Each structure stands twice: as C-alpha cells, then as structure tokens.
Chains A and B, each alone.
Chain A
Amino acid sequence: MKASTVRRVGGRLASLFASLLIALSLAFVLGRLSGDPTTTILGPMAPPEQRAALRHELGLDLPLVVQYLDYLKGVLTGDLGQSLQFYQSNTSMIADRLPYTLQLVAAGMSLALLVGVPLGVLAATREGTRWDRAASTLALLGQSVPVFWFGMMLVVLFAVKLGWLPAGQSGTPKHLVLPALTMSVYPMAHIARLTRASMSEALAEPYIDSARARGIAGWRIVWRHAFKNAMMPILTIVVLQTGILLSGAVAVEYVYSWPGLGQLALQAIQFRDFPLVQAIVVFGALVFVLLNLLVDLVHSIVDPRVR
C-alpha cells in the first residue's frame, strides 16, 4: 500500500473516531441535562434519603468525570447501561428491537432505490421533456408530504377502506408493506432528485460525447458510462438516509405500532429514561460512523482516483 494511501486512510479513521467521541460526549452531556431521573422513577414526593440512595445506586453521586469515563468504558465493552423503565440491559433491548428496524429499513430503502434511481435517470436522460417534469414533480411531492400523514392515509385506504393490508403490528410480510412504503417515500424522492442532478452533470461530461463518438449508445452510455460516474453522491445519500432510519424511524414506527428502535426511543423519551435514550443515541452514532466508513470504502473501490 502506498504511503499516501496509508496517510489518507489513517487521517480518515482519526476523523471518524473524533466524530464518534464528540457524539458520545454530546449524548452523555444531554443525558445529564435532561433532569433528575430519580424524580421520574420515584415520583416528585419521594423523601430525599430514598432519592439519595437511588442516586448512589445509579452512580449519579460520583464526580462527572468518573461517570463519563465509566460511560466510555461501558461503550467500549458493549455495555450501554440499564434502562430505568424496563430494568433491562439497554444493549439487549436494542439488540431485540434492531431486527424489526433492520427489516423495515431494508424494505423501505430497497423500494426507495428501486424507484428513485430509475426515476432520476429517466428525468436526466429526457431532460426538459414531460417525462422529466413528471418525475421531478413526483419527487418534489415525495419530499413535501409529511411522513406520518402519508402513513395514515395509506392506513385509511388500504387497511380501513379496502381491507387489503393490516393497519399495524408486525409478523408477516403483509405487515411490512405499508410501513415500508411509508418509510420509502422521502428517501425515494431525495434519491430521485439527486440522481437526476448527478446524472445530468455526468451526461454533459466530455467522456460521454467521446463514448458516443466511438459508437457506444443507449443504455450502455447511461449506466456504464454516466451512472457509474454519477453514483457516488447517490450512494452517500443512500447510506446517510439508511443511517438516519436505522437509528430510529420514529414517525413510521409510531403510526404502524412497529416494535423497532424508533418506538423504543419514543418510549424512552416519554419516560425520561436517559440511559436508554443515551444508549440509542450512541448506537445511532456508531451506525453513522460505520456507514461513513463503508461509503469511503465503496468510493475507493468505484473511483480509482481516490485509492
């Protein structure tokens, strides 16, 4: 491996580590600013001695620096503390809920990609035509519609009126259809708009004219020459959207009573279960950092100029 590559990879890893440390520290500070958890657990009328005993049990009477170091040590060993509400390990609760969110995100993002990318490519290859206008309008609409409203409308139509699909809960593939569709709308629109912009730019590059002049035509130009060059910004957005959704698609999971991380986060916030909120934030930050690393990796595979 070249020295410059080692330097670049080292620099990137250091910056990702720094981002993670900042996110972890913010999660810790915000948790401490969210009020006294003993009030939530024991109620406002609890005697001070009982409160002090609980504070001692939770380690809240230790100096802040010690608490912070304990917290970092926990993160490193996979121990994200215990929920004040469920009296369970936060790590195991996240692990229990994660498969549901993963299912939903995988289905939603697949749908968003399968529709968003072709829609954007269609608009870019037919720039200025009615296809372009229709695709752009659809994308704009997708980004403007509030997710929870769209979800409720789908429930009204497909669950209440037509009775084709269940309105909520999980278990069968049928249960996944409406939540995945709802979840896909915003990223789909975002991907479509970005694909259009990125493809328009790539299609105007001289290497496209040059390939055309060599007799290369049709979809080979679009996918092999233009799309491959246009895909990095699209991939970045896909990965970032996946990160956002993985760390809790609150609105969608709430509308469909989907037992994923979003629901768990909502319950934790409502109960002021700060160790659990903190654990979910930490998990989200970890996911983001890992996904960013993945983007860098894919970028270096796709584009030889950044190797």
Chain B
Amino acid sequence: MSELLTVSGLTVTARLAADDLRLLDAVDLELRAGQIIGVVGESGSGKTTLARAVVGLLERNVRVDQGAITLAGQTVVAPGVDRTDRIRGSAVGMVFQDASRSLNPLMKVRTQLAEVLRRHVRDITRAEVERRSVEVLAQMRITDPTRVLDSYPHQLSGGLRQRAAIGLAVVTRPALVIADECTTALDVTTQTKVVELFRTLVDELGIGLLFVTHDLMLASDLCDRIAVMSRGRVVEHGDADQVLEQPQQEYTRRLLAAIPSWS
C-alpha cells in the first residue's frame, strides 16, 4: 500500500524579534491509509507544529525552511510552496483540542456542517446536506442526530461536542484526519469512547489518522505506529508495540517511566 502522508526532512523555523527558533528539525514521517500514527512527546516538542504544518495553519512568522509534505503523492508543503488550501477540509480534516472552543459558539451544529459541505461539495442540494449531516452524526454514534444538529455547542455535553467536531472533520470524507490533543479536555470515560470511535472510523472508512497526544497510554490503546518527538525532532518512530515495549531511545524510556502506575 502506498503512503498517504509523507513528511520528509521537514524543518520549520519561527522568526522572532531576537532570534530564529527552530520548531521542527528534519522531521520524517509516513502514514498509510487505514493506519493510525500517534505523535507523542512533551509540551513544546513540536507535535502541534507538525500537525498544523500539514494543513498550513502555521503562524505568520513561521516558515518551512527545508523538506516537504506530500499527500497522496502530491507536494502540498515545501519551502516557498503552500498548497494546503486545496486539501484543507476536503482531503484533510482536523479535530482540535477543546471542542467547546473549536466550534463556533454562535452557530448551530447544523449550520457548521452545512457550511463545510457547501464549501466542498459542488451543487449539493439542501436535502443532501441534511442527509449527510444526519448520516455523519449517526456515524459518530450519536443517538439523536436531529437534536444535536439543532443545538448550539454550549447546549451539548463535552463528549457530544467532541463527536460533533469529529463529524465536522470527516463529513467531507477526507483521506487523512489529524486529531490534535482532541481527548485532552475530556474525562476518561469519554476519552475511551472517542478513541473507540476513531478506531471504528479508520477501520470503516479507511482513512489515515495522525493522532497527536501527550498521553502515551492512550496512544498505545489506539495507534498502529508511534513517533516520539522531542525538541522538534522525531527521536523514535516505529510500530506501537515495539516503541512502547522495546524503546530504543533514552528519551522514550524516560517518557514511559513517567507514566503513573498503581504500584
């Protein structure tokens, strides 16, 4: 199976008043369709920068210096090249950390879903918008899609909000979904449900999932492969079982040792 997402030698720098700050340093990563890769590491390790680079959401003062990101063989990001506007929301969907802040508070879920469908599906009818909106929420294991469609984000529970946000990311049937710390703001039970939902979506729809998290336990539950990041570099990259059970790098061992245990 060919690679869906390839990040090769990606180097990203922030131009600051005093000095330049390297955020990503020659990052390499591959992801196939139907696969989940977990990007793990401490805060400030570059996980989110990597995720945002794929969809072209880097800050204005941040530039790609070297390397490239390709999606299904097409280069979308390289030094001086940014074609992410062609893939955002259509080929790539993104789920953010806190759905209570990543959903527009003044728009009903229905309106937000309709907006993204109308943006990406040419000549879509009102009936088709409705049908696909209900369908995607049902896919998110939401038992009463119509009620959720008619709700504003603040009227939903944390779990329902995050499911609606995931629905918004996948309603256009993208090939790749990026989830950036999207379970952090949830309680453990809801986290588990969201993780199960992701697994089902990947298996049923055959999408590739880039799962950014600082939670190694969660990554071990969900991911096929794991990339460990530290100070803007991928320090270890491999099958999840291998990385977690036989870490090759000292940094990974320290991360694993930091996981609290009952004993």
Chain B proximity mask over A273-307: 1 for CB below 8 Å, otherwise 0:
00000000000000000000000000000111100
Complex-state Cα separation, A215 to B120, whole angstroms: 8
Of B92, B101, B172, the contact of A207 (CB 8 Å cutoff): B101
Question: Across the interface, do B55 and A305 meet the contact criterion of CB distance under 8 Å?
Answer: no
**Distance of A209 Cα from B152 Cα, bound (Å):** 19
* In contact, A229 and B57 (Cβ under 8 angstroms): no
- Neighbour of B152 across the interface among A213, A214, A217, A304, CB < 8 A: A304
Chain B interface size band reads 20 to 34
Size range of the chain A interface in the assembly: 10 to 19
Asked if residues A303 and B116 are in contact (CB atoms below 8 Å), the reply is: no
**Contacts A209-B57, A302-B106, A304-B106; is A214 near B169 (CB within 8 Å)?**
yes
Distance, CA A228 to CA B152, complexed state (A) = 15
Is A214's CB under 8 angstroms from B104's CB? no
Q: Is the C-beta of B196 less than 8 angstroms from some C-beta in chain A?
A: no
A270, CB-defined interface residue at 8 Å: no
Chain B residue at minimum C-beta to C-beta distance from A225: B104
Partner of B102, one of A207, A216, A229: A207
Complex contacts, B106 vs chain A, CB 8 Å: 228-229, 302-304
* Cα A305 to Cα B152 with chains together (Å): 8
Whether B82 sits at the interface, judged by CB under 8 Å, is no
Which secondary structure characterizes the binding site on chain B? mixed
**Cα distance, A303 to B97, chains bound together (Å):** 23
The reply to whether B104 and A215 form a contact with Cβ atoms under 8 Å apart is no
Q: Which of A212, A229, A302, A303 has the most CB of B within 10 A?
A: A212
**B88 surroundings in chain A (CB, below 8 A):** 212-215
Q: B119 near A209 (CB under 8 angstroms)?
A: no
CA of A259 to CA of B168, assembled, Å: 57
A206 at interface (Cβ–Cβ under 8 A)?
yes
Interface string of B96-111 (1 = CB under 8 A from A): 1110011111100000
Asked if B94 CB lies within 8 Å of chain A CBs, one says yes
Q: Collect the chain B residues with CB atoms within 8 Å of residue A207's CB.
A: 101-105
* Distance in angstroms between the alpha carbons of A214 and B87 in the assembled complex: 9
From A210, A216, A302, A305, contact of B103 by CB (8 A): A210
10 smallest beta-carbon distances between A and B, as pairs: A215-B89, A213-B94, A210-B102, A214-B89, A206-B101, A215-B88, A304-B152, A206-B102, A214-B116, A207-B104
Please name 19 pairs of A and B residues whose Cβ atoms are closer than 8 Å in the assembled complex, sorted by A: A207-B101, A207-B102, A207-B104, A207-B105, A210-B165, A212-B57, A213-B88, A213-B93, A213-B96, A214-B115, A215-B120, A216-B119, A229-B104, A229-B105, A303-B105, A303-B106, A304-B106, A304-B152, A304-B155
Q: B-contacting residues of A (Cβ < 8 Å)?
A: 205-207, 209-217, 225, 228-229, 302-305
